[in-house]
Amino acid sequence: MYEGVHAYPDGRATVARFAKTAAAYGYEGVVVRNHGDAQAEYDPERIGDRYGIDVVPGIEIRTDDPGQAGGLVGNYRSKRTIVCVHGGSLNRFAVEQPAVDVLAHPMADGDVNHVLAKSAAENGVHLEFNFARVLRAEGGERVQAIGALKKLRELVEQYDAPYVVSADAASHLHLEAPRELLALGEAIGFDRGAIESGLAAWGALSDRNRRRREDSFVEPGVRIERRDEE
C-alpha cells in the first residue's frame, strides 16, 4: 500500500522524514505529490534505499486555467511518474485527460457529478477519496466532508471509476497507518476491501507508468518484443 504526501516546501516534513515514517507504518511506498510551485529537491532512489521504501516522484498541478493546465500536464508527463491535478475548477478538465493519473481531492473545492464520474471511468483518471478533512477538521466541516465522500463513493461504484485513497499528509505527523485508514473507512461507510484497493492503486499506477516509460512501450496495449536473431 502507498500514500500520497506533500513534502517540504509544500508541506512541513522532508521527503526523507515521510519515507522513514511511512516505512515504519508498513507502507510499501510514498508518492511525493507536491504542487508545481512548491516542488521538493530529493533523490528518490537514495532515500528509498535508505528506508526500504519506494519513493515515487509525482506532481499535483494547480491552476485555474485549463489551457495552462494542459501545457503543464504535457510537460510533466515525461518527467514525473505520477501526474495529479488539483481538484476544484479543473475537475472537468482533469477527467477528460487520459494523461492525468489522479484528480486530487475533487470534492474539497468542487464537485463530481454523473458526467464527470463517467468521463473519469472512460479515460482512466483516478478519483481521490481524500480523508484529510475527516481526519483533521471538526464540526460541520467534518460532517460535510463525510457527506461528500459518500456521494463520491456512490458515483465511483455506479460508473466503476478508478480511484485512490489518501490522508493527504502535509507532515509526517499527519500520516496514518494503513490499518487506521481501513478502520476510518469502515466507520464512515466504506468497504474494507475498497480502502485497501485505493491505497494499493498508487503503487499500481507507479508500476504501470514506469513500464510505459521503457523503450519497449509504444502506446497502451502495444509493446515491442525484442528477440535475439538466430
Q: Quote the pLDDT of residue 217.
A: 52
Predicted pLDDT at 19:
98
Residue 52 domain flag: yes
Instruction: Average the pLDDT over each of 41-50, 149-158, 220-229 and give the range with the smallest value.
Output: 220-229
Query: Which parts of the chain fold into alpha helices (H)?
Result: 15-25, 44-51, 66-76, 91-95, 114-123, 132-136, 139-159, 178-187, 192-212
Query: What mean pLDDT do residues 161-173 have?
Result: 96
Asked whether residue 94 is assigned to any structural domain, the reply reads yes
CATH number of the domain bearing residue 165? 3.20.20.140
227, part of any domain: no
User: CA of 152: how far to CAs of 77, 113, 146, 170, in Å?
Assistant: 26, 8, 10, 23
Q: Write down the pLDDT at residue 112.
A: 94
Q: Which domain holds residue 70?
A: 2-213
138: confidence class by pLDDT, cuts 50, 70, 90:
confident
Confidence of residue 109 (pLDDT cuts 50, 70, 90): confident
Q: Quote the cell numbers at residue 137.
A: 477538521
Q: Is residue 230 part of a domain?
A: no
Q: Is residue 220 part of a domain?
A: no
Grid-cell match 496495449, residue found = 221
Give me the sign of the Cα torsion angle 126, 127, 132, 134: negative
- For residue range 61-103, what is the model confidence (pLDDT) as tens digits? 999 999 999 999 999 999 999 999 999 999 999 999 999 999 9
> In the prediction, which pLDDT does 214 show?
82
pLDDT attached to residue 215 = 57
Number of structural domains the chain divides into: 1
The answer to whether residue 118 sits within a structural domain is: yes
The answer as to whether 228 is a domain residue is no
In a domain, residue 221? The reply is no
